[in-house]
Amino acid sequence: MTAAVQVRGLCKTYGRVPAVSDLDLDVEHGEVFAILGPNGAGKTTTIEILEGHRSRDAGQVLVLGEDPATAGRAWRARIGIVLQEVSDAGMLTVRETVQMFTNCYGSARDWADVLELVGLAEVSDRAVRTLSGGQRRRLDVALGIVGLPDLLFLDEPTTGFDPEARRQFWELIRLLAAEGTTILLSTHYLEEAAALADRVAVVANGTVVAVDSPTRLTGHVDTAATVRWVDGTGVHEERTDSPTELIRQHSRDGVELSQLTVTRPTLEDAYLHMIGRA
């Protein structure tokens, strides 16, 4: 079986400014795949090309086995899209909006189930224009999943969410993934990528500089631990590959090591290192 998304040599230029340059990407079926990168790295352009919303200058792209540039309505019914910014019919109620989208698909989730799933059941009769920013974002997700997509695109899905709402959204993503939905998301939140993604692609200057699991990406930087402590002579900090042995050596003879911390490189450290190198 081919990958859900296959990209080779993707290029896109705006005027003389390259947005995507020779980008390669593979997303497997059933995978939660995250794209990380700074503003202007080419994340949104890449996703819009994969969705069929933007043309490309060069490269080969297959999404669910078809070229998005020429795929028809049957293909579009198999994908769900949550854009960065959405213009909606604010005069409709939440329920009316989801029902309207439900009618656009031959096979779709029950509208009431969708609203329950995204946490909007209690506000189903409210006009969309009266919703908070976080609630409107939940509605965007509801419209993206109502058609039972095989592949769901999420472009910065939790922008504007408070920490509690963001974690509730993560649970929704995990539920969709457990049902077999392939999910491709771009995010600025490293914690979000670490919590959700099976694999992460780091994009810089329009190309992929690394692809791996969130845990293994930290192997792209120095993996030595930093041990910090305070004793009678002051504050100390050492880097070592054997923190347990270091602590044992310094705590001999009953020496008390207060404020002891042991830290290892995080996904953020690896990310900053890779985009800085690129």
Nearest of 78, 84, 81 to residue 65 by alpha carbon? 78
Task: Classify 66 as helix, strand or coil.
Answer: strand
- So what's the pLDDT on residue 91? 83
For the chain, list residues with pLDDT below 70: 1, 84-89, 220-223, 253, 277-278
Prediction pTM value: 0.80
DSSP 94: H
pLDDT at 9: 96
Burial 79-93 (b: 16+ CB within 10 A, else e): bbbbbeeeeeeeeeb
Calpha distance 126→93 (Å, rounded): 5
Strand spans (E) along the chain? 5-14, 17-27, 32-36, 58-63, 79-82, 151-155, 182-186, 199-204, 207-212, 225-231, 234-240, 258-263
Plot region of 206 (φ>0 → left; ψ -120 to 50 → alpha; else → beta): left
Q: Is 154 helix (H, G, I), strand (E, B) or coil?
A: strand
Tokens of 227: 């041990």
Amino acid sitting at position 172: L
* CATH homologous superfamily, domain 1-78+150-212: P-loop containing nucleotide triphosphate hydrolases (3.40.50.300)
Return the structure tokens found at 216: 């293994």
Residues 90 and 209: their CA atoms lie apart, in Å, by 41
Strands (E), 64-216: 79-82, 151-155, 182-186, 199-204, 207-212
